[in-house]
Amino acid sequence: MDSGLGNALGFAYEGVSGDRVVVTWTVGPQHLQPFGIVHGGVHCAVNESAASIGGQAWLRDQGLVVGVNNNTDFLRQARTGETLRSVATPIHQGRTTQLWAIETTNAEGKLVSRGQVRLAHIPGSPPQEFLALLDA
């Protein structure tokens, strides 16, 4: 979880399970669009990251999860220096798909964005390092 896009964007995972994922991140210049607020794509990235990690934690070694839809609403702007908290929880966890809701709030607890990510289950197995983290 400490590599790839999440690492580049500074996501810190405070809790990971198959029924809840908590990610915190502090808005920096790398997150901004030209008008000085967080780029919507960053919200989409944290949503897909949190849902995928939670979905895989739930599915474990019974296959891989892949995002097939990511829908995010932007409700309040966030500026440089603000710490945001994104919490992902499952709406549905089925045989072939999962649907997760993700809410991102600011330090005052105000909703900044809300999204949904649909995941599909495909054949495969996650890296053993990921499963070991879940068991630690």
Q: Inform me whether the pLDDT recorded for 1 exceeds 70.
A: no
What's the whole-model pTM score? 0.94
Q: Inform me whether the pLDDT recorded for 40 exceeds 70.
A: yes
Confidence band, pLDDT 50/70/90 cuts, at residue 135? confident
Q: Which residues of 16-37 are buried (b: 16+ CB within 10 A; e: fewer)?
A: bebeebbbbbebeeebbeeeeb
CA pair distance 15, 33, nearest whole angstrom: 28
Confidence band, pLDDT 50/70/90 cuts, at residue 4? confident
**Each residue's pLDDT tens digit, 49-76:** 999 999 999 999 999 999 999 999 999 9
**Each residue's pLDDT tens digit, 70-121:** 999 999 999 899 999 999 999 999 999 999 999 999 999 999 999 999 999 9
- CATH fold of the domain at 4-135: Thiol Ester Dehydrase; Chain A (3.10.129)
Domain map of the chain by residue range?
4-135
Q: Which pairs with CB-CB distance under 8 Å and at least 24 residues apart come from 88-93?
A: 88/20, 88/21, 88/22, 88/23, 88/47, 88/50, 88/51, 88/54, 88/117, 89/19, 89/20, 89/54, 90/18, 90/19, 90/54, 90/55, 90/58, 91/116, 93/18, 93/55, 93/58
